[in-house]
């Protein structure tokens, strides 16, 4: 007779094995779908030559074949003109943040044209207190910030990073 | 703690085929859970 505590442990082990299998199966399926969904890159020239070849191929010379080939050629030409694959959004990264301003005193970010009191406060909330932090922003950081504190395109249009570089250069000791 | 570990290792050594079957069933279930089309299986 198997002891009761062993029965419970066996049931637990089998359940754990089942759950691990579920997670692995789900993960494998997600990975497989991601790989399968990757768009195949076909050059414009290649796509047009394929379409033309299908349209004039003697194997599709029957009326139905011709019609199907023409439809396919039209579809390919339309797809080449207006690609159906949407561009992947750029990667967004949160810029490095500080828990508090260094030496307890933040820089005056309002020196940058385009940053007002409200935006400065929002930047402080995100842990950005100094001009050198703004200088270190990359395009990924700007993309991340634009969705949160500014109207899309404002940081680039108003050249906050360039302004911060100029301000830092002007205030740096010679 | 070591007693529990020893018991688990002992049980795994004996009952691993059952665990393997459970893992295989879980694998299939996990895979198929994503294959269902929207609306399929709904009452």
Judge whether A138 lies within some domain. yes
The reply to whether A30 touches chain B by the CB within 8 Å rule is yes
Question: Looking at the structure, do residues A72 and A17 belong to the same domain, yes or no?
Answer: no
Show the domain range for A146.
Answer: 102-171
Judge whether A91 lies within some domain. no
Contact B26 A13 (CB under 8 A): no
Question: Looking at the structure, do residues A132 and A152 belong to the same domain, yes or no?
Answer: yes
Total structural domains within chain A? 3
Judge whether A94 lies within some domain. no
Q: What is the pLDDT of residues A146-170, one digit of tens each?
A: 878 866 788 888 899 999 999 888 8
Question: B43 vs chain A: nearest CA distance in angstroms?
Answer: 24
Question: Looking at the structure, do residues A48 and A28 belong to the same domain, yes or no?
Answer: no
Judge whether A162 lies within some domain. yes
**Residues of chain B neighbouring A20 (CB-CB closer than 8 A):** 23, 26
Q: What is the pLDDT of residues A16-73, one digit of tens each?
A: 999 999 999 999 998 988 888 776 666 667 667 766 665 665 555 555 556 766 777 7
> What per-residue string of b and e applies to B4-28 under the rule 16 or more CB within 10 Å gives b?
eeeeeeebeeebeeebeebbebbbe
C-alpha span between A33 and B33 (Å, rounded):
13
**Residues of chain A neighbouring B28 (CB-CB closer than 8 A):** 21, 25
Nearest to B30 among A10, A17, A22 (CB): A22
Question: Looking at the structure, do residues A29 and A49 belong to the same domain, yes or no?
Answer: no
pLDDT of residue A81: 67
How far is residue A89 CA from its own chain's centroid? Answer: 4
Neighbours of A158 (CB within 10 A): 15
* Contact call for residues B14 and B8 (beta carbons, < 8 A): no
ipTM of predicted complex: 0.76
**Confidence band, pLDDT 50/70/90 cuts, at residue A6:** confident
Judge whether A152 lies within some domain. yes
Question: Looking at the structure, do residues A53 and A27 belong to the same domain, yes or no?
Answer: no
Judge whether A71 lies within some domain. yes
Q: What is the pLDDT of residues B21-32, one digit of tens each?
A: 999 999 999 999
Burial of A84 by CB count in 10 Å (0-12 exposed, 13-18 middle, 19+ buried)? exposed
């Amino acid at each position: 007779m198997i002891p009761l505590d062993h029965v419970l442990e066996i049931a637990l082990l089998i359940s754990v094995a089942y759950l691990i299998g579920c997670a692995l199966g789900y993960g494998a399926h997600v990975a497989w779908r991601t790989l399968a969904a990757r768009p195949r890159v076909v050059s414009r020239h290649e796509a047009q030559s394929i379409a033309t070849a299908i349209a004039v191929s003697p194997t599709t010379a029957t009326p139905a074949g011709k019609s199907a080939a023409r439809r396919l050629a039209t579809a390919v030409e339309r797809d080449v003109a207006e690609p159906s694959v949407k561009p992947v959004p750029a990667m967004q990264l949160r810029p490095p943040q500080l828990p508090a301003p260094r030496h307890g005193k933040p820089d005056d970010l309002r020196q940058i044209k385009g940053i007002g009191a409200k935006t400065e406060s929002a930047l402080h909330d995100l842990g950005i207190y100094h001009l050198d932090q703004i200088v270190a922003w990359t395009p990924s950081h700007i993309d991340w910030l634009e969705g949160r504190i500014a109207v899309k395109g404002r940081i680039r249009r108003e050249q906050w990073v360039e302004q911060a570089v100029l301000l830092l250069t002007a205030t740096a000791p010679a | 703690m070591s007693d529990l570990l020893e018991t688990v290792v002992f049980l795994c050594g004996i009952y691993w085929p059952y665990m393997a079957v459970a893992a295989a069933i879980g694998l299939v279930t996990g895979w198929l859970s994503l294959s269902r089309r929207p609306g399929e299986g709904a009452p």
